[in-house]
Amino acid sequence: SLCYGTNGRRGMNISTNSLNSLLYENTLMGDVQTFWKGFVLLCKIKVSLSPLCSQGLFGVPELSGPAGFQMAQHQALREAEFLVHKACTHPPGAVTVETFDQLSDSLCRVADLADFIKVAHPDAAFREAAERTCVEIGTLVEILNTNVDLCQSLKNLLGNEAVLATLDSDTRRVAELFMFDFEISGIHLDESKRSKAVALNVKLLDLYHEFLNGSQLPNAIDKQVLPEHIRHCFSIDGNRVQIGGLHADSPNDLVREAAYKIFLYPNTSLLLCLDELLACRHELATLVGYESFSHRALKGTMAKTPGKIIRATSRDFKMMKEMKKKTHTTNPEVMPWDHAYLSSAIRTEMFNIDPSIYSPYFSLGACMEGLNRLFMQLLGVYFQAEQPKMGELWSEDVRKLAVVHETEGLLGYIYCDFFRRPDKPHQDCHFTIRGGRLREDGVYQLPVVVLMLSLPPPSGRTPSLLTPSMVENLFHEMGHAMHSMLGRTHYQHVTGTRCSTDFAEVPSILMEYFASDYRVLSQFARHYQTGEPLPENLVSRLCESKRACSAADTQLQIFYAALDQVYHGKPQYRSTTDILREVQEKFYGLPYVHDTAWQLRFSHLVGYGAKYYSYLMSRAVASMVWRQCFLQDPFSRVMGERYRREMLAHGGSKEPVLMVQGMLQKTPTIEDFVDALVLDLNANVKSPVL
């Protein structure tokens, strides 16, 4: 579609403890901290800035307060009106596609920013204003996607062979992508059906909001229902116990069981919401000519994957059962609430993995310096600390980085929202705030992104110390960021991560392989107090521990992907819970638990509807790229340049299979993807990836 998916001055304040922590970490790490040293000066400058320098969020002047979203929205609507008129009246040519992209950019610059602020800003007024803007812009996009005159201007272009012959391949592809958006929105329908399609899309926006909000709400139960000795493990509000998660890492199996059964207890209104959401999606898909919503969303799936993977899981579940017997529990059978905990227990017992052993070697400053060095070696790219203006940030602990190429100069900006804070979502995400594109004046519009993590903040004289999983997540999200920074497409509609869903996760998952390689870790992992390097044997044990129960974890992902496909296939005319039970019995090795509705916590149904399989596809591609291109030398500049040239640079302007083909220098098949997943599982049992 045309658009993808306290006050501002608070960002200028910084506490003495935060400043001391930054100073302390820089002092300890010496030369390893060359990148972070810039932050110390920035913190000092920030305190002395005059209020006259105040700007809005991300430097957008209107967004100095919540009301600014209304102004930004109105400005985008005025621009949209002008650009629609231009597209409809200008003779067909490259300018037609450029105008469409300007229209997309105008709307996305507001909608993408609002999409982030509605979940991340600490001020509820900002969040609510951003949410309203998302709905308004989303509604406009659905109307534009069924605008007959606008579509006709694109048809005039695509139907003119002489003009098409003058366009470059990227421009033709972007024109075809815009036309595809029109087609799946029902542009070919008569007026009444087009209106119905718009109404269904607008209704879906409301249903998405309702489902996502409901999926995050805790469930409450009378505290007398729970045994007294475990009540303290949960939040108590008067006579009610609030359970807002699965407590999957609790060593107490009764706590895990209670949390699972209560948190996943069916919510009637949310079940109806999901039913309506799926029904609306199916109605929309059939209205515009597709057999199902899944057919509308996909052209291929990982259908051949499950059989091969499932056969590898019996060993994992056997180990889990043996581990559970050691706990002397009343129920020796492995249940769904045991999966995460027992997997962790097995890893700890087999490999003596304790995150506290590793964290002192993984200060945030050291990890960022490691990423800085890696990107410089692979791609000739480095980070540079930037001074934000007053009001530009939404929280005092956010940091702004410029991404610079050694010869090309400034590539874009990354805002690092890394630390935990009250009311901040506990999720690791990459948000596009502004996409890159070649502007009408010939200047490249630099991309802007946010990386949002949930890391422990510095405390006293102790820097922010990361667990191994936090390090992996940091590398993962930075993979998304570099995809956005290094995409150099003519059109923002296809820039960076605005690409096929089953390709978007490849750069981020590939970075996880670098985060598990001792040659990479040894460049920066130093004890924050002694400077001692992380021992190689600890990395070997860590890598091997990640492989334990990996087949069962992969099978769980297959179950999720299969459930997503069934939900979005032809209507089943039965409850989503009955469907869940059947799919779980077929694709997952653990039983369905009576009176639970896990699907109501499956928030990916909104963002990845009919596309959850993409995680598996992307992991397979990343595995192939790592093994063939980087396993021998993770710092290869030759391979790094090929990676940028063949994969990162194109965003969505090139077919994903062609990008993978260019990187691997062969055409992969579905069987190759499946074999890559199986090879990872088999290889993982034998040795770590070092």
pLDDT band with cut points at 50, 70 and 90 for residue 485 = very high
Instruction: State mean pLDDT over 391-401.
Output: 95
On whether residue 589 sits in a domain, the answer given is: no
CB atoms near residue 253 (< 10 Å): 19
Give pTM, 2 decimals. Answer: 0.84
Of the candidates 1, 7, 13, the one whose C-alpha atom is nearest the C-alpha of residue 398 is 13
Beta bridge partners of residue 162, listed in sequence order: none
Long-range Cβ contacts of 62-69 (<8 Å, 24+ apart): 63/8, 63/113, 64/7, 64/8, 64/391, 65/7, 65/8, 66/123, 66/125, 66/126, 66/128, 66/129, 67/129, 68/129, 69/110, 69/114, 69/129, 69/130, 69/132, 69/133
On whether residue 594 sits in a domain, the answer given is: no
Instruction: State mean pLDDT over 303-309.
Output: 37
pLDDT band with cut points at 50, 70 and 90 for residue 307 = very low
Tokens of residue 628, six digits: 């063939």
Note the pLDDT tens digit of each residue in 425-456: 888 999 999 999 999 999 999 999 999 999 99
On whether residue 33 sits in a domain, the answer given is: no
State the pLDDT at residue 14: 27
Query: How far apart are alpha carbons 170 and 490 in whole angstroms?
Result: 8
The residue among 1 and 432 whose pLDDT is bigger is 432
47-64 burial by CB neighbour count: b if 16+ within 10 A, else e? eeeeeeebbbbbebebbb
On whether residue 203 sits in a domain, the answer given is: no
Is residue 291 pLDDT above 80, yes or no? yes
State the pLDDT at residue 22: 36
Note the pLDDT tens digit of each residue in 658-680: 999 999 999 888 788 878 887 77
State the pLDDT at residue 314: 57
Cβ-contact 576, 272 below 8 angstroms? no
List, as one string, the DSSP characters of 260-325: HHHHTS--HHHHHHHHHHHHHHHHHHHHTT-SSHHHHH-S---TTHHHHHHTTSHHHHHHHHHHHH
pLDDT band with cut points at 50, 70 and 90 for residue 460 = confident
Please list the active-site residues: 477
- From residue 424, how far is each of 265, 338, 543, 687 by CA, in Å? 25, 28, 31, 38
pLDDT band with cut points at 50, 70 and 90 for residue 652 = very high
CATH code of residue 529: 1.10.1370.40
- Report helix, strand or coil for 444: strand
- From residue 241, how far is each of 116, 195, 600 by CA, in Å? 31, 46, 20
Parent domain of 365: 357-553+611-682
Least confident of 231-235, 289-293, 332-336, 618-622: 332-336
On whether residue 199 sits in a domain, the answer given is: no
Among the three residues 124, 154, 188, which one is the final residue of a domain in this structure?
188
On whether residue 37 sits in a domain, the answer given is: no
Q: Residue 38 is inside which H or E element, if any?
A: helix 37-48
Tokens of residue 17, six digits: 């403890």
Among the three residues 188, 211, 239, which one is the final residue of a domain in this structure?
188
Query: How far apart are alpha carbons 294 and 570 in whole angstroms?
Result: 8
Number of domains in the chain: 2
Query: How far apart are alpha carbons 566 and 575 in whole angstroms?
Result: 12
The residue among 389 and 333 whose pLDDT is bigger is 389
Note the pLDDT tens digit of each residue in 359-374: 999 999 999 999 999 9
Beta strands 448-455; 409-419: pairing state: parallel
CATH code of residue 141: 1.20.1050.40
Is residue 8 pLDDT above 60, yes or no? no
On whether residue 69 sits in a domain, the answer given is: yes
Query: How far apart are alpha carbons 661 and 628 in whole angstroms?
Result: 12
- Report helix, strand or coil for 431: strand
On whether residue 635 sits in a domain, the answer given is: yes
pLDDT band with cut points at 50, 70 and 90 for residue 610 = confident
Among the three residues 188, 219, 236, which one is the final residue of a domain in this structure?
188
Instruction: State mean pLDDT over 296-321.
Output: 52
Note the pLDDT tens digit of each residue in 547-556: 777 788 888 8
Is residue 259 pLDDT above 90, yes or no? yes
- Report helix, strand or coil for 415: strand
Note the pLDDT tens digit of each residue in 143-194: 999 899 999 999 999 999 999 999 999 999 999 999 988 988 888 899 899 8
- Report helix, strand or coil for 115: helix
